[in-house]
Amino acid sequence: MNAMTSPAASPADVCFVQVEKKFDTTTALHSLDLEIERGSLFALLGPSGCGKTTTLRLIAGFEQPTAGHIYIRGTDVTGLPAYKRSFGMVFQSFALFPHLTVAENVAFGLKMRNVPKPEIAAKVAAALELVELGTFADRYPRQLSGGQQQRVALARAVVFEPDVLLLDEPLSALDKMLREQMQVEIRHLQQRLKMTTVFVTHDQEEALTMADRVAVMKDGRIQQAGTPRDIYDRPLNEFVATFLGASNIIEATVKGTEDTGTVIDVAGNTLRIRAIPATTGTRLRFALRPEKISIGPITGSTTTGVSATVREAIYRGSQTLLYLDIGGMPVNAVVQNAGVEPMNLEPGAVVALHWDNANMVALEPTP
């Protein structure tokens, strides 16, 4: 967070300021600074053990930081127990009470808050309508599909209008088709409610589909935070490039500079890219997304592009995934199968690769 901005003056609903969390001798979070804007859908993305669930539990108050401060809507909640915080939570397992009806499950939190009965009935009815389960009030969880149970869990989490909605891998128990449907439904629900929502996921596609902003985490540190498009198109380091979607890591050596930019060597091929601050002889690594590469036939000695050998071609219906080799360096590319007669992509075939050098992103070392 900017040192000139106080948490109270910040537009963020959730602020972490130099938050550290240790479990015995293990550090789960290292001096974490984080801002989550009010009304946004924010994804904490990373592999198991990266600290994303710990971050969510710190927001909820299930865990307390070893050092640093946590602010929610400008109020320092560091040390405040969970029952004194205003949040709704949806768990991976849905955690519905099997002996209670749908309406009773949704009403549970309101009863714990001593909300008057007439108000409970009205709020429960409104929440169920919001998730399109208005006619399911008297059913029990065992009578519902997985997607319907997920909707009940969402209704229960938002019925009392919390400051923050927390989603802990909420879709991982669903099959692929239902998971994709629920991604869109949760996104639409959050946009209607304008409720600050933080969700934990290890699914890159889920983060790209749902989130306004994403924080990619590794070993208790945020590697990069920004919009899905920014992070996907301009990853800062190799971990982000390879974790958020498929990416080629292109190794290159700086040959020199020209008026038009920097000249690099990629497996014996000379490329000119935009000017970067690197001296001659410097070894660099670039990210290049497979879909940014186009494929053409080798037509003769005057063919432009980078020559590559096909190692394997995998047909995927609308696309063919190519595993290629450029002078010993592995590269993947994606060919769209749009009804055009395909060129020879059998193993051993030689093709020409073309890409816009502006799509090569220079990478920093991963912390």
Task: Kindly state whether residue 214 falls inside one of the protein's structural domains.
Answer: yes
Among 216, 243, 270, the domain-final residue is 243
- CA distances (Å), 115 to each of 38, 44, 109, 170, 181, in order? 26, 33, 9, 27, 33
Query: What's this model's pTM, rounded to 2 decimal places?
Result: 0.89
Question: Do the domain assignments include residue 164?
Answer: yes
**Domain count of the fold of the chain:** 2
Which CATH number is 231's domain given?
3.40.50.300
189 & 280 share domain: no
User: What's the confidence (pLDDT) of residue 233?
Assistant: 95
Q: Identify whether 301 is part of a domain.
A: yes
Select from 277, 254, 274, 276 the least CA-distant residue to 264: 254
Residues 257 and 326 in one domain: yes
Residue 140 lies in a domain: yes
What residue numbers bound the domain in which 346 lies?
248-356
Residues 72 and 124 in one domain: yes
- With respect to residue 6, please indicate whether it lies within any of the assigned structural domains: no
Do both 212 and 261 map to the same domain?
no
What number of CA atoms fall less than 13 Å from residue 258's CA on the CB side? Answer: 11
23 and 73 belong to one structural domain: yes
pLDDT tens by residue, 98-111: 999 999 999 998 99
Strands 283-288 and 269-273: unpaired
Q: Parallel, antiparallel, or unpaired: how do β-strands 196-201 and 164-168 relate?
A: parallel
Please write the tens of the pLDDT for every residue from 4-44. 455 655 567 999 999 999 999 999 999 999 999 999 999 99
Among 208, 243, 278, identify where a domain stops: 243
Q: For residue 131, which of 157, 152, 159 has the smallest C-alpha distance?
A: 152
The answer to the question of residue 351 being in a domain is yes
Does residue 262 sit in the same domain as residue 344? yes
Single out the residue in 193, 223, 243 at which a domain terminates.
243
CATH of the domain at 284: 2.40.50.100
Q: Do 221 and 312 belong together in one domain? A: no
Q: Which residue has the tokens 């709704």?
A: 88
Residues with Cβ < 8 Å from 174, sequence gap 6 or more? 146, 147, 150, 182
7 belongs to a structural domain:
no
Same domain, 62 and 205: yes
Indicate if 146 and 118 belong to the same structural domain.
Answer: yes
- pLDDT at position 93: 81
pLDDT, one tens digit for every residue, the chain (367 residues): 444 455 655 567 999 999 999 999 999 999 999 999 999 999 999 999 999 999 999 999 999 999 999 999 999 999 999 999 999 999 888 789 999 999 999 999 899 889 999 999 999 999 999 999 999 999 999 999 988 999 999 999 999 999 999 999 988 878 888 888 889 989 999 999 999 999 999 999 999 999 999 999 999 999 999 999 999 999 999 999 999 988 999 999 999 988 778 999 999 888 888 888 888 999 999 999 999 999 888 765 545 579 999 999 998 888 889 999 998 999 999 988 875 556 778 899 999 999 998 899 999 988 7
